[in-house]
Amino acid sequence: MKKMSLHNIAESCSGELRIPEGYPNTDIWEGTEITQAVLDSRQILPGGLFFATLGERVDGHKFIGSVFEQGAYCVITQKTPEMVEVEYGVPMEKWGAYILVEDSLQALRDIAGFYRQTLKIPIIGITGSVGKTSTKEFIAGVLSVKYKVLKTDGNFNNEIGLPLTLLRIREEHQVAVVEMGISDFGEMQRLSKIARPDICVITNIGQSHLETLKSRDGILQAKTEIFEYMSPRGEVCLNGDDDKLIQIAYVHGKKPHFYGISQASHKEVYVTDVTGQGLFGSNALIHWESGCNEGMEKTMMPVHIPLPGLHMVSNAAAAACIGKLLELTPEQIADGISRVTPVGGRSNLIAHKSYTLLDDCYNANPVSMKGAIDLLCQTDTRNTAILGDMFELGENSDAMHAEIGRYAVRSGLHTICFIGEKARIMYNAAVEAYREEIMLSGLVPGEEDAEIDKEILSQHQYLHFAEKAGFLAWLEQEGETLFPEGVTVLIKASHGMGFQEIVEAAYWKQ
């Protein structure tokens, strides 16, 4: 954080600043450089601001004594020293300066919102159903060619992660790229009020969080809450290939900038001549029509997009649009795109000595699941998919899981492991889809289901495990058939399935 006085911090969150008598070197009026803002006491550094929060499993107030010992400058707390001494035995004399608030998490949001309004650099806010993190990486990579960029770490994109990201901005930063994720109505409005983005990017309107948002129209409504607190002079960049987003004609009286794949009259930035390089990405041409910058002429630039899949081409187009808005040259934009590297859990290639893992296990919904299957099918090696449950799909969850099972078979995957309760629906649909293919092929006309099942087992391997633990035990004992020499293995499910454990087990498997 730039220089902020403890007085201003307390005022911004309606807190009561208390400084122990004789506490040294604390100038509450002139301000100081606060090195960091953290919720995890293990991360505290000298000069840091620690937020003591009431977690589901851990009470951060328990560690107030230790953070002061490690040099914390100030603590935001919901509990007084007397209360903490009674509950956790932390002596009151161990306390330094603290700000007493009603709710530490709300104080975090309030302080970050106040701090953001002191900043002069542009803030780029990114949301969407799929591709937020990858798009963030492309945009940050492009802008880093010209500017000192701060970006969201990992997926710190909610009402805790976003404020912590904003509080990391320092004097040297020239632009910030922040990811903004939601699961319900009203959340994006609160995030927008904190971040007050100068440029808003929406990647797509998909099928995430249907339990709460109900429909794609509901998702559109919730995502576009990002516009409510954006800069009045700000810009909006939207995926011009999304049927919902192209309905947005004006935002605060200004036309959005549309980007996408293939030329269309409404797109200012688009990509053509895409040539897939398998898991090594794509080569393409990026086009800029007039409009991104006033007076800009039509421009075309060849580019290598190092991450695989057509969705990554779209993400690169978003970065190209932002790059032009912030006055990068086409050459700088192409250079930035070519340097982007994958984030763990998102189309991340991991080279084992005998095979390749496609780690895409951070999250999953029907759109991203199909995209990952398409990507696996681009390989020129034998392939295997390990697929798990997709969460928060609402009342149509069973139908969506069944569709993925059918899609996997019809895409040509021969070896598939389905893991989880909902994955059984995928498995059943996959077996049924293959039965239909067998019958339509005429290879086993008139055979009974039992005979068809024998045919499935002889030519394809479809397995279901109710739990991850069962799969891992099977993998240890009998899983050699999943990992023959040279195979490419896709590992994908919603984050709550914990498939990173499968990635690790597969990587260390000899």
| Per-residue confidence band for 295, with pLDDT thresholds at 50, 70 and 90 | very low
Using only the alpha carbons of the chain, give its radius of gyration.
Answer: 26
Q: Among the three residues 317, 338, 359, which one is the final residue of a domain in this structure?
A: 338
CATH of the domain at 29: 3.40.1390.10
Strand ranges, E, within 31-96 = 37-38, 49-51, 74-77
Q: Can you give the pLDDT at residue 64?
A: 96
Position 343 in a domain: no
**121 three-class SS:** coil
What confidence tier does 257 reach under pLDDT thresholds 50, 70, 90? very high
Same domain, 175 and 254: yes
Determine the Cα–Cα distance for residues 269 and 356; give it in Å rounded to an integer.
34
| pLDDT, position 476 | 86
Q: Answer yes or no: do 245 and 135 share one domain.
A: yes
Average pLDDT, the chain: 89
Write the DSSP assignment of 175-240 as a string of letters.
EEEEE---SSTTHHHHHHHHH--SEEEE----STTHHHH-SHHHHHHHHGGGGGGS-TT-EEEEET
> Per the structure, how many domains does the chain have?
3
Residue 447 and residue 306 share a domain = no
Indicate if the pLDDT at residue 266 is higher than 80.
Answer: yes
Q: 79-88, 285-294, 349-358 — which is least confidently predicted? A: 285-294
| pLDDT computed for residue 468 by the predictor | 95
pLDDT at 30: 61
In angstroms, the Cα distances linking 241 to 251, 259, 344, 383 are 18, 8, 27, 30
Work out the pLDDT band at 345, boundaries 50, 70, 90: low
Tell me, yes or no, whether 46 and 126 share the same domain: no
Query: Does the structure show a pLDDT above 80 at 190?
Result: yes
pTM for the model: 0.79
Which residue would you say has higher pLDDT here, 475 or 126?
126
Same domain, 182 and 312: yes
264 and 366 both lie in a single domain: no
Domain end (from 309, 338, 367) = 338
CA angle 142–139–371, rounded 5-degree value = 120
In a domain, 143, yes or no: yes
**Residue 32: Cβ within 10 Å count:** 17
Q: Is the pLDDT of residue 38 over 50?
A: yes
**pLDDT at residue 342 tops 90:** no
| Alpha-carbon dihedral angle through residues 117, 121, 125, 131, given to the nearest 10 degrees | -150
pLDDT recorded at residue 378: 81
- pLDDT digits 0-9 by tens, 192-248: 999 999 999 999 998 878 888 889 999 999 999 999 999 999 999 999 999 999 999
Tell whether 81 and 124 lie within a shared domain: no
Average pLDDT over residues 16-33: 71
212 located within any domain: yes
In a domain, 112, yes or no: no
Angle between helices 366-377 and 397-410 (to 10 degrees): 10
Coil vs helix vs strand at 131: coil
The pLDDT of residue 451 is 56
Q: CB of 335 within 8 A of CB of 145?
A: yes
User: Is residue 356 predicted with pLDDT exceeding 90?
Assistant: no
Helix (H) or strand (E) holding 161: helix 161-166
Kindly state the percentage of the chain with pLDDT values over 90. 66
pLDDT over 70 at 134, yes or no = yes
Single out the residue of 423, 419, 378, 379 nearest to residue 404, CA to CA. 423
Do residues 357 and 318 share a domain? no
DSSP at 298 = P
Cα 435 to Cα 491: distance, rounded to the nearest angstrom: 25
Q: What is the pLDDT of residue 509?
A: 59
Tens digit of each residue's pLDDT (9 = 90 or more) over 382-416: 889 999 999 989 889 999 999 999 999 999 888 99
Is 465 a domain residue?
A: yes
CATH number for 442: 3.90.190.20
Q: Comparing 388 with 378, which gets the higher pLDDT? A: 388
d(Cα 249, Cα 87) in Å, to the nearest integer? 57
Task: Based on the fold, state whether residues 224 and 90 are members of the same structural domain.
Answer: no
Q: What is the pLDDT of residue 346?
A: 66
Task: Give the residue from 68, 103, 138 where a domain finishes.
Answer: 103
149 confidence band (pLDDT: 50, 70, 90): very high
Q: Which structural domain, as residue segments, surrounds residue 87?
A: 6-103
